[in-house]
Amino acid sequence: ETNFIIINFKDQLPLGVHYKLFVPTLKNLCNEKQVEMFLKPAQNLQIIGCYAQTELAHGSDIVRLQTTADYDIARQEFVINSPTIGSTKWWVGELGLVSNHAVVFAQLRIKDKNFGLHAFIVRIRDERHEPMPGMKIGDVGAKYGF
Tell me the pLDDT tens digit for each residue of 72-117: 999 999 999 999 999 988 877 766 778 999 999 999 999 989 999 9
**So what's the pLDDT on residue 136?**
86
Strands 113-123 and 101-110: antiparallel
> Which long-range contacts does 124-127 make (Cβ < 8 Å, 24+ apart)?
124/50, 124/95, 124/99, 124/100, 125/99, 125/100
Q: What does the pLDDT look like over 120-132, one tens digit per residue?
A: 999 999 999 999 9
